[in-house]
Amino acid sequence: MILWELFWNFFNIGVFSFGGGYATLPFLYHISEAYNWYSFDDLSNMIAISSITPGPIGINMATFAGFKTAGVLGSLIATTSIVLPSLVFIVLISKALRKFRENIYVKSIIYVLKPLGCGLLAAVGVNLFINDFLSESINLYNIAFLTFLIILSLRKKLNPLFYLLVSAIYGILTTTFLT
């Protein structure tokens, strides 16, 4: 049943995603491939909308993906099941915070999972890049614009709103004047 699968998948994201909101993306990406609940293009829109709306990005994306899958009820299930593991873990950990933090196994697992989460997100980025740029005819303007944004980001950490605003304007201008 789709609602149960939705619950199970998002519960797993809550258990296994490490490194914050964007770290849920590799899992959302996997779901889009495995279930067809939403498309690859939806995923890109989901990231954009989630980055400019109130609330933690991870929750926004879960709500959005749930909505795409099964409407408002789907959102409710996705959101509840992604936060459930946090609730359980932290209530358990809170009782013995210091012991937990200084545990050598916990330290080693965190040491491994941080770069691992980074690698997963990088792979999703490359996949989205392939999907946006290489599946259709290669557009030099778009590549130049992306390079420009990336150089900007290397110089200074910018608010997500900035990227999305500038690129929305770029999208409107290029379709108006170049086609």
Partner 1 sequence: MTKISLKDIYIRFFRIGTLLLGGGYVILPLLQSEIAEKYDCITDDDVCEYYALSQSLPGVIAVNTAVFVGYRLARTKGALAAISGMVTPAFLSIILLANLLTQIVHVPFVQSLFAGVGIGVLALLFQAVGEMWKKSITDKGAFLIFLASFSALLVFKVFPIYIVISGIILGIVLGYLKGRKP
* Residues in 1-40 that interact with partner 1 by CB under 8 A: 12, 14-27, 30
| Binding residue (CB under 8 A) for partner 1 from 4, 36, 104, 140 | 104
| The two structure tokens encoding residue 172 | 């409107």
Give which of 49, 43, 15 is closest to 29, Cα–Cα: 43
User: Which of residues 3, 5, 70, 149 is near partner 1 by CB under 8 A?
Assistant: 149
Q: Which is nearer to partner 1, 2 or 101 (CB)?
A: 101
Give the integer Cα–Cα distance in Å for 176 and 179.
6
- Nearer to partner 1 (CB atom), residue 2 or residue 126: 126
Q: Are the C-beta atoms of 135 and 37 separated by less than 8 Å?
A: no
User: Does residue number 174 form part of the binding site for partner 1 (CB under 8 A)?
Assistant: yes
In the complex with partner 1, which residue's Cβ is closer, 2 or 152? 152
Which residues between 108 and 147 bind partner 1 (CB under 8 A)? 108-129, 132, 142, 145-146
Q: Rounded to whole angstroms, how far apart are CA atoms 46 and 60?
A: 8
Each residue 43-62 as x (binds partner 1 by CB under 8 A) or -, in order, gives -xx-xxxxxxxxxxxxxx--
Q: Which is nearer to partner 1, 2 or 116 (CB)?
A: 116
The alpha carbon dihedral of 164, 40, 46, 31 has a sign of negative
Q: Quick check: 160 and 51 in contact, CB under 8 A?
A: yes
Cα separation of 53 and 93, whole Å?
31
- Binders of partner 1 among residues 71 to 100 (CB under 8 A) are 72, 75-76, 79, 82-83, 85-87, 89-91, 93-94, 97
Tell me the number of residues near partner 1 by CB under 8 A.
106
Q: Do residues 108 and 141 lie in contact, with contact meaning Cβ atoms separated by under 8 Å?
A: no
